[in-house]
Amino acid sequence: MNIVVCVKQTVDLQQVRIRKETRQPVLENVPLILGAIDKNALEEAVRLKDKTGGRVLVVSVGPETLEETIKEALAMGADEAILVTAPELDGAESAQAALLLSGAIKQMEGFDLILLGEGSADNYSGQVGPRLAEILDLPQVTYVRSLEVNERKVKAVRSLEDVLEEVEVEMPALISVVSEINEPRIPAVTQILRAGRKPKKILKPTDLSLQLGGGRWVETLSNLAPVQERKGILFKEGLKELPSLVQALKEEGVGRK
């Protein structure tokens, strides 16, 4: 079985600081990593490959720094990578990313499954998966928390707001997963060393013969952290001040419906 995993390069959110004066995120010199839920998708693909055989190929769109970041995916067990890179693809919008991903995937000889995270760590729009499925004319299953493959069928459990839904779909298909599906592996040193020798194909947008249009389709007007105001009320005597703590929480409206 041949599995394509779409991954995205994002900043490491654990190392993003917020500038107090402007509430703007400070992104300078923040390490670039693969999206957290994309790692879940990749982990599931590698597990399926171990069970059924085949290959796992990662596809990504982004700036030139993507070539270094993708080594993590290859170290986790992907066999090959196809990258579409250009300076202007730094922060590519969902519609543009889906179109470029589809162009790269169409260059492959064939695939059985496309896996990707339900949303990216940076903006979590959740649009790339559905857009990609529409472009490639594939059935899609979203919010998947577990899946199993039996011959040419995929049985998946979807995690919705208040229920779990079990569905079945014929391959080829596109599956977007949630973080509950697994715990991504941490590559060993030997796997990291071998990742540099695995094949990578680097493409430019012009190599895909696509009509992308000019300019950005979506303009970000503001990106601010929410205001956090604390009153700094201290309770120093533990349980003795529990009634005071309860009263303070009531005055703040905690527990009201």
Q: What is the pLDDT of residues 204-244, one digit of tens each?
A: 988 887 766 655 667 777 767 677 676 677 767 666 667 77
Number of H helices, E strands in the chain: 7, 13
> In the numeric block, which tokens belong to residue 199?
């094949």
Residue 253 lies in a domain: no
Residue 217 lies in a domain: no
Give the type of residue at 255. G
**Structural contact between residues 176 and 37, judged by C-beta atoms closer than 8 angstroms:** no
Residue 17 lies in a domain: yes
Residue 163 lies in a domain: yes
Q: What angle do CA 93, 198, 40 make, to 5 degrees?
A: 50
Q: Domain containing 41 — which CATH number?
A: 3.40.50.620
pTM to 2 decimal places: 0.81
The pLDDT value recorded for residue 238 is 67
104-136 pLDDT, tens digit each: 999 888 899 999 999 887 777 888 999 999 999
- Pairing of β 200-203 and β 80-85: parallel
136-176 pLDDT, tens digit each: 999 999 999 999 998 889 999 999 888 999 999 999 999 99
208-219 pLDDT, tens digit each: 877 666 556 677
59-104 pLDDT, tens digit each: 999 899 988 999 999 999 999 999 999 888 887 888 889 999 999 9
The C-alpha atoms of residue 227 and residue 225 are separated, in whole angstroms, by 6
Residue 169 lies in a domain: yes
18-43 pLDDT, tens digit each: 777 777 777 777 888 888 999 999 99
Residue 12 lies in a domain: yes
Q: How far is CA 59 from the centre of its chain?
A: 12
The pLDDT value recorded for residue 4 is 96
pLDDT surpasses 90 at 245: no
Residue 57 bridge partners (DSSP): 4, 80
Residue 244 lies in a domain: no
Give residue 200's domain range: 2-208
State how many domains the chain has: 1
Residue 226 lies in a domain: no
